[in-house]
Amino acid sequence: MNAREVSAPKGSVDPASVPQRALYTEALMPAIGLGTFGSDHVPVREVAAAVEGATAVGYRHFDCASVYGNEAEIGCALQRVMQGQVKRQQLWITSKLWNDKHAENHVIPSCKKSLADLRLNYLDLYLVHWPFPNFHPPGCDVTSRSSDARPYIHANFMKTWQKMEELVDLGLVRHIGTSNMTIPKLELLLRDARIKPAVNEMELHPHFQQPKLFEFVRAHGMVPVGYCPVGSPGRPERDRTSEDTAPTQDPVVLRIADRLGVHPAVVCVKWAVQRGQVPIPFSTKPSHYLSNLQGVVGEPLTQEDMRAISTADRNCRLIKGQVFLWKEGQSWEDLWDPNGEISPP
């Protein structure tokens, strides 16, 4: 019996059995990660404990961000993990540049701060969290507007991106990527980047499948990472509207979950991995994060299940980003280039 069998909690998954996604660099990223955004209400210690607990049951991929306000605690958890049997190179750690750090002189120090907090000497992936520069106090109301908010200006974004590229040159990050981008913005970035984005992180769940962007990302050699994969039932109040729907209450998802004897969240996660995106479900409950991982290595959904879920799409974006709007009288849709062109400043 090896040491892992002695210490692994019951039901743990062998990390070697978790599917991987190849990036264009040929690096392999575990096809499921643990989200770490506590939605402004889950205590940081609880999230850090989940990172440690999730590693013990077989997770190797963690989706972090400076704005989640918990990288220092997660760093302590990762350090404990790496003092055990898990080596740094077996982990996949993502972090993100926050919106108030897009200025050229802020990008490298911001990444170094995340590295120091996470107690790492490199990141596997560093993302520009949103393509809009702005500042908002943590937990601000949905109606809040910042005088610092700016639209997407490609020339400015490229200045930020060149600093992201420098982070690769410096060996501080292995890959760089984007988040919350649209096709027209990605087209410009792909045209002008020296180092292409390796992933685009985007909202993806059965009620928001974004088929065009999903296919665009894959066709251009990027991996789609899917946030809110179970519909973010614990998301903050500012991210809720009366039109929102819940994929975990969808009749198709419920019927499959009932047949398999699993929580509907597990069906969402299985669907995501089988479709080809990398879901990063958040949970601090061991039974939940373990069942999500078990779902990924367990019996696949049938072709009929996959087809039925593909027809359940409701084009229901949950994370609308209202607080990032840059002038009065705008609609949140303006952030997402609904006409296929970058919304005018």
Out of 68, 126, 227, 289, the active site residue is 68
Which residues does residue 223 pair with via DSSP β-bridges, in sequence order?
199
Task: Determine the Cα–Cα distance for residues 223 and 226; give it in Å rounded to an integer.
Answer: 10
Task: Between 141 and 169, name the residue whose CB sits nearer to ligand NAP.
Answer: 141
Contact window for ligand NAP (CB under 6 A) among 21-29, 108-116, 213-221, 276-284? 276-284
- Is 37 a binding residue for ligand NAP by CB under 6 A? The answer is yes
Task: Between 184 and 234, name the residue whose CB sits nearer to ligand NAP.
Answer: 234
Please state the closest distance from residue 215 (CB atom) to ligand NAP, in A: 20
**What is the contact mask toward ligand NAP in residues 140 to 179, using x (rule: CB under 6 A)?**
---------------------------------------x
- Is 292 a binding residue for ligand NAP by CB under 6 A? The answer is yes
Q: Which of 30, 36, 92, 177 binds ligand NAP (CB under 6 A)?
A: 36
Task: Between 57 and 230, name the residue whose CB sits nearer to ligand NAP.
Answer: 230
- Is 233 a binding residue for ligand NAP by CB under 6 A? The answer is yes
Instruction: Answer for the pair 324, 99: CB distance below 8 angstroms, yes or no.
Output: yes
Instruction: Answer for the pair 147, 178: CB distance below 8 angstroms, yes or no.
Output: no
Say whether 68 is catalytic: yes
Quickly tell me which residue has 């990390």 as its tokens.
15
Task: Determine the Cα–Cα distance for residues 147 and 327; give it in Å rounded to an integer.
Answer: 9
Size of the site for ligand NAP (CB under 6 A): 30
Task: Determine the Cα–Cα distance for residues 274 and 284; give it in Å rounded to an integer.
Answer: 24
Q: Which of 291, 294, 322, 343 binds ligand NAP (CB under 6 A)?
A: 291
- Long-range Cβ pairs for the range 176-179 (8 Å, 24+): 176/125, 176/126, 176/127, 176/128, 177/125, 177/126, 177/127, 177/128, 177/201, 177/222, 177/225, 178/127, 178/128, 178/131, 179/96, 179/127, 179/128, 179/129, 179/130, 179/225, 179/227
Residues marked as catalytic: 68
Positions in the binding site for ligand NAP (CB under 6 A): 35-37, 63, 129, 179-180, 201, 227-235, 263, 265-266, 280-285, 288, 291-292, 319
